[in-house]
Amino acid sequence: MTDSTHANKTESVIPTPHIEAAKGDFADVVLMPGDPMRAKFIADNFLDDAKLVTAVRGMFGYTGTYKGVSVSVMGSGMGIPSIGIYSYELFNFYDVKKIIRIGTCGAISKDLEIFDIVASMAASYDTSFVKQYNLPGTYSAVASYELLRLADDTAKKLGIKLHVGSTVTCDSFYDEMSQVPSWRKMNVIAVEMEAAGLYMVAAAAEKEALALMTISDKVEGSEGTTSEQREKSLTNMITLALETAIAS
């Protein structure tokens, strides 16, 4: 591995290896969809005076205002390794205070329907990402209580049904040996690929994080959504995240 793989935050400079923004270009709160095109969609349709502040490797990041409050939105890519890099650099180099993941997930609970919104209270995981922290036990990846509380209160005010519960973060998208029944037995309601890593990075940086996700498919069944639907039909989740961001 190269030295940059294990870059120490005290030795790194802005711009970082993966973000070309200048110091001060990001707001205190950053919304992070996985898809950079969804970040562009949010900037174009929800933010005022949005400015592109980074586009390294096509991972677009914007800063604008929502109801007069500065908010940023930036893609995270897919999986813990990708969101782990971007969230680390945002928290540790750009002094971002809070990151709200806004993505999609697969329903494990039979009570969830397509386009329902989930807030990950705690994220179980099957990743080795946690090994870097050299912990003498099993780590619990959890959301910021403050952000979770605000999101829940905001959802009620907006009349949006929010399912708060445990999720699981997996490294594999195509799981040929599905463990869905086992997770369901433990009351895990949805599966995705980023939340646990984001929560770990936030905890280590003493910052706040929350994952809000829209159900895009059911992991046991054929019902799902198209990429265009996932990009443009997540208005309730995006609105909830923005309202939570400005309330925080």
Give catalytic residue positions.
217
Beta strands in 114-239 (DSSP E): 117-125, 141-142, 162-169, 188-192, 208-218
- Nearest-angstrom CA–CA distance, 107 and 115: 10
- Residue of 130, 121, 138, 118 whose CA lies nearest to 197: 130
CB 122 within 8 A of CB 45: no
User: Token digits for 37?
Assistant: 């095109």
- Residue of 19, 197, 175, 26 whose CA lies nearest to 103: 197
Helices (H) and strands (E) in the chain, counts: 7, 10
Question: From the CB of residue 160, how many other CB atoms can be counted at a distance below 10 Å?
Answer: 15
- Residue of 211, 220, 233, 203 whose CA lies nearest to 166: 211
- Nearest-angstrom CA–CA distance, 68 and 118: 27
- Residue of 87, 111, 116 whose CA lies nearest to 210: 87
